[in-house]
Amino acid sequence: MSKKISLNNIKNFLASKNMVLLSNSYLNNKQKLCIKCPKGHIFYMSWNGLTHGYGCRECYIEKRTLDISYVKNKLEQEGYILLSGVYKNSKSSLTIKCPNNHVYITTWDNFQQGNRCKQCFIGSMKHDFNYVKEYIESFGYSLLSDNYVNANYELEIMCNNGHIYKATFSNFLAGRRCHICDVENKKLDIDYIRKKVEGEGYKLHSTSYINAQYPLTVECDKGHVYNVRWYNFHTGYRCPLCNNKGFSKQEHEVLDYINKIYSGLLLKNNRSIIKPYELDIVLSDKKLAVEYCGLYWHSELAGKDKNYHLNKLNMCNEQGYQLLTIFEDEWVNKREIVESRLLNILGSKKLETIYARKCVIKEITPTEARVFCEQNHLQGYTGSRIKLGAFYAGELVSVMTFAKPSISKGANPKEPNVWELSRFCSKINFRVIGIASKLLKHFERNYDWNTVFSYADRRWSNGNVYEKLGFELSGITKPNYWYVKRGKRIHRFGLRKKPSEPKNITEWELRQQDGWNRIWDCGNLKYKKEN
């Protein structure tokens, strides 16, 4: 049996290294101890960490301090330009311009570890061969080419009618499809179109037909007159007024709210930024666009495939815009939270400001965490092991929770001290400056951890908060789907296919039989921080 370590044993061990133990008690080898190093720095470390050679982080950083000219030369060797005029240490932030002229913030440590420009990283992932192949196949087409060079490289493609033709990926992204089908579509005469339209109880006002992409004027059985392409009508699109489409009541509510909190130029139904696609609301001087997505009209059965929202987000990012994608149920059911998020994103002065230095951090109960997250986080509460709260004048104003990651998220159960930062939110209509950093530092000082990872929902976040906290982008997940029915949206896990269900029918086919539709999000940015 190994000898039990006492407080005196630890004091003697530290004294041999000219360190002083400030803690007055010792429970076990995982407890964080307060220690003063020979240079007077105060730090926290467990007995496990000490015996594995870990020590004062500030001393470690000081040892790695380099001259700014050295850092500048190393960056320039790779085609990067250092914009910062001061270099403190390997952990301090540096402003850098990449060879593609993207300006971003990183640290020398991160750069040396091979982490480069996030925009270039996203772009490279977005346009690799697998992405192009998957995107083309999502429309029922087949990519026959064996390689992909760039968006202007000509590809050989087969459409869902078996026609083989050549096109660039840039043209495919812009909505251009098989020209042979276009010619054949033109062969349809107006009498055929009228017969099909009237067979649905609608009336055709147009007197000529050009092709499947050309707008037709039709009248529904309720007397609403609107324009629609034959392709869309043929695939199930019907009267937008009957289906509460157009600029709906909820979209007007979002627009009216933004008008109240934002005094700059506001554009709606803009088609100039990501031609030929439309953006509901654009705040041009903020480089921000907002999309309001009705659960039916942005669903798969309404023609919005799994990459629809992601493609619009990527196209906005390429133009330097952030795109917020608001789902209908978020506005209807959690409007106050959405409004508060918009206030924060726009930097509104209407928020009540609190500073983290005036807050006290402590663990909170599961009930406190649940109630707070349900009231202040768009995704509500999720189970967690560690629940930290920030209190200002006795009031809970921010919460951060940590969970042990599941195997479904790629976790290795044998890997110790891996945590997921599962929730972070502040009280609605409050801006608590610096609180994310203070909560995370409290966790890092008081709990054993080797790795912390978290996910940023790309519909709402560009990941900046994680980068400011020292996290690194480690991956980008594909879009996820949610099942929807009568204004309700639930996560796909709730309707996973059961072993007892027919093996020759897919989950999606089964759920459609039960009246479910599905809607796709934009995926997540995965961030990771190592100790």
Over the stretch 152-189, which tens digit does the pLDDT of each residue have? 788 889 887 778 888 888 778 766 788 777 655 555 67
User: What is the tens place of the pLDDT at every residue in 437-489?
Assistant: 999 999 999 999 999 999 999 999 999 999 999 999 999 999 999 999 878 89
42-45 and 33-36 as β-strands: parallel, antiparallel, unpaired? antiparallel
Using the predicted structure, report yes or no on whether residue 312 has a pLDDT greater than 80.
Answer: yes
The one-letter amino acid code at 456 reads: A
Percent of the chain clearing pLDDT 70 (strictly above)? 89
The two structure tokens encoding residue 123: 């772009």
Give me the mean pLDDT over the 237-250 stretch: 65
CA distances in angstroms from 427 to 4, 70, 105, 222, 377, listed in the order given = 45, 45, 28, 46, 9
Whether residue 509 is predicted with pLDDT greater than 50 in this model: the reply is yes
pLDDT tens for residues 205-214? 988 887 666 6
* 301 pLDDT higher than 70: yes
Calpha distance 138→152 (Å, rounded) = 20
Residues 6 or more apart from 380 whose CB is under 8 A from it? Answer: 373, 374
The two tokens of residue 125 are 């992932």
Q: pLDDT tens for residues 51-66?
A: 878 888 777 766 655 6
DSSP E strand stretches across 102-163:
103-107, 142-143, 154-158
Whether the ω angle into residue 276 lies within 30 degrees of 0, i.e. cis, is yes
| Distance in angstroms (rounded) separating the CA atoms of residues 420 and 293 | 29
pLDDT at residue 209, rounded to an integer: 80
Among the residue ranges 315-324, 404-413, 509-518, the one predicted with the least confidence is 404-413
CB 435 within 8 A of CB 398: yes
**Which of 142-151, 282-291, 381-390, 493-502 shows the lowest mean pLDDT across its residues?**
142-151
pLDDT tens digits along 117-148: 766 655 554 567 887 888 888 777 888 888 88
Q: What's residue 1's pLDDT?
A: 41
Which of 346 and 249 is assigned the larger pLDDT? 346
What is the pLDDT at residue 125? 46
Asked if the model's pLDDT at residue 526 lies above 90, the reply is: yes
| Residue with token string 């130029």 | 265
Q: Within a 10 A sphere around the Cβ of 312, how many other Cβ atoms? A: 19
Residues 6 or more apart whose CB falls under 8 angstroms from that of 169 comprise 127, 132, 136, 148, 151, 152, 153, 155
Provide mean pLDDT across the span 387-391.
Answer: 97
* Extended strands (E) in 61-163: 81-82, 93-97, 103-107, 142-143, 154-158
DSSP calls for 211-260: -TTSEEEEE-TTS-EEEEEHHHHHTT---TTTTT-SS-HHHHHHHHHHHH
The pTM score is 0.56
